[in-house]
Structure 1
């Protein structure tokens, strides 16, 4: 065999050196196999950190009142009722139904009524429109589509829409948002209406409601402390300080103790997102004074009006 048609491979095993002579064709196959093995080994040892999905991150409010006992307490306080069995609540929250990055917080059926509870940390006049999308999805899930073609009337649970607001914009203890307010050139009575009752759950508001739902009262106290400390120290430290202080003073003590790390992470996200939305909204409002607003900025304005997640904002074309 000529040297030109062979390949020499030396392999070491402890102190023994082994010489292997292979034909060129066999040597190429052998080397290719070695390369594949090396690449496979690299892939096996590559660790990718999963990226957090900010769009659909849970909130402390939703986590707290996803507990049936706490949710029943909140329901009783809102409706001035006295139900005792949490199992009477039929949870129908649309866990996987997300409209433009917005997730339904809590939905349940009680006494043949359907309740949609939403939490907002920024003022949003478009909640009726969002709830319209939610309720349509709920009814699609609850109703057998075949029955819509029947001569028998299809009964559906009566809807109720409640928003629990704890933003920094000052509003009254109880107010209403109407879908008809969004109708352009409305004449006469609207042919479609949806009313959202907005309850201010900041500390110092709706005292009677807070008195009948201790969890809601303590939640308001916790949020107030986060905001108080965040004005004087870095957000991470402020949230941790508020959590530890509330645990010491018996405010949501059991909940915060069991879910400390998760609550801290959620609170930082919520507060940071609230500030980001306000900053972007201010930027958008400043553009209103410019008559030659670019199309990209128009899209940003629409995005802000619907309160989409900050990640959805396309701000790359700001002048």
Structure 2
């Protein structure tokens, strides 16, 4: 796969719905689809996106103030992260800090704050049911009938499917879903040139044509950045799994050695049978 000198920290998803010159129109169509509204003017939208919060070094979020609501969107192309409610809580707290001066929070007058809504758009490879909710209370150590603090994140599967209702209602999202599908198919066949082929295929098939014709180089770099990020995360998860497996194996060996010592086995024999060093076995015996 080709490497580019410039690393884009935004994804195609973020650019298409938050940064590009057509982003507000794309987001408005999505907002209408989510809420059953028919707004026509993007003047009602205010982009209030925070940089590099949800994903730290790789920002993959979209935030708008619209209709007295704060809409926060995030895209997941891998497995759904169950900690999204916690991350969204941190995110909305930082957003609210921008709305009011510190002194206003101590006023006797109750502040009126925009209502937050959180969405995760999932287009990963693993099967995932349609719509579901991730709740902050799912992480609480104790359960109660009522919670003093709750935050819900709606997960929406946007993988291309002719029966997917949200894709029927929002053309920009449908086009984006088709684009992701094309990228996935082409990169699976040709890792070296898959991104370029996907872009050409979409332009030929009138999928995000104007956007891709205008920004093909930027999109290519963003795709490479996304691919590198996903690869890094996968490696980290695999390393974490391997480390946990190694630690578990060591603990099993140590427990076996302890039991063998209790059975009056000789230290050299214990070391030979468990694969531990004699020093490790002796430390167990002396512990």
Normalising by structure 1, we get a TM-score of 0.70
Q: 2:123 aligns with which of 163, 166, 178?
A: 166
Relative distance call for 1:145 and 1:271 in structure 2 (3 A) is same
The aligned residue for residue 226 of structure 2 is 270
Q: 1:116 aligns with which of 64, 68, 72?
A: 72
The aligned residue for residue 198 of structure 2 is 242
Q: 2:150 aligns with which of 190, 193, 196?
A: 193
The aligned residue for residue 70 of structure 1 is 26
Matched residue of 1:272: which SS? helix
Where structure 1 has 5 or more consecutive residues not aligned to the other structure, the ranges are 1-49, 295-319
The aligned residue for residue 59 of structure 1 is 11
List aligned pairs for 1:74-113, cutoff 5 A: 74-95=30-51, 100-101=56-57, 103=59, 105-113=61-69
Q: Which has the higher helix share?
A: 2
Matched residue of 2:148: which SS? coil
Q: 2:166 aligns with which of 194, 209, 221?
A: 209
| C-alpha displacement of 1:293 | 8.7
Matched residue of 2:73: which SS? strand
| C-alpha displacement of 1:207 | 1.8
| C-alpha displacement of 1:99 | 6.8
The aligned residue for residue 149 of structure 1 is 106
User: Which protein has greater RCO, CA pairs closer than 8 Å, 6+ apart?
Assistant: 2
Say how many residue pairs are matched: 242
Relative distance call for 1:226 and 1:98 in structure 2 (3 A) is closer
CA distance in 2, matches of 1:212, 1:229: 27
Relative distance call for 1:286 and 1:205 in structure 2 (3 A) is farther
CA distance in 2, matches of 1:163, 1:98: 12
Matched residue of 1:289: which SS? helix
Relative distance call for 1:253 and 1:99 in structure 2 (3 A) is closer
Matched residue of 1:103: which SS? coil
Contact kept in structure 2, 1:60 and 1:266, CA below 8 Å: yes
CA distance in 2, matches of 1:246, 1:166: 18
Contact kept in structure 2, 1:93 and 1:104, CA below 8 Å: no
CA distance in 1, matches of 2:58, 2:118: 16
Contact kept in structure 1, 2:76 and 2:124, CA below 8 Å: yes
The aligned residue for residue 218 of structure 1 is 175
Contact kept in structure 1, 2:158 and 2:164, CA below 8 Å: no
The aligned residue for residue 288 of structure 1 is 244
Contact kept in structure 2, 1:94 and 1:104, CA below 8 Å: no
| C-alpha displacement of 1:148 | 1.3
Contact kept in structure 2, 1:91 and 1:109, CA below 8 Å: yes
Matched residue of 1:197: which SS? strand
Normalising by structure 2, we get a TM-score of 0.77
Relative distance call for 1:136 and 1:250 in structure 2 (3 A) is same
Relative distance call for 1:264 and 1:88 in structure 2 (3 A) is same
Matched residue of 1:163: which SS? strand
RMSD over aligned Cα, in angstroms? Answer: 2.3
| C-alpha displacement of 1:243 | 0.3
Matched residue of 2:118: which SS? strand
Larger Cα-atom Rg: 1
Matched residue of 2:217: which SS? helix
1:238-272 deviation per Cα after TM superposition (whole angstroms, max 9, x unaligned): 11001001101101000000000111111122133
| C-alpha displacement of 1:208 | 1.6
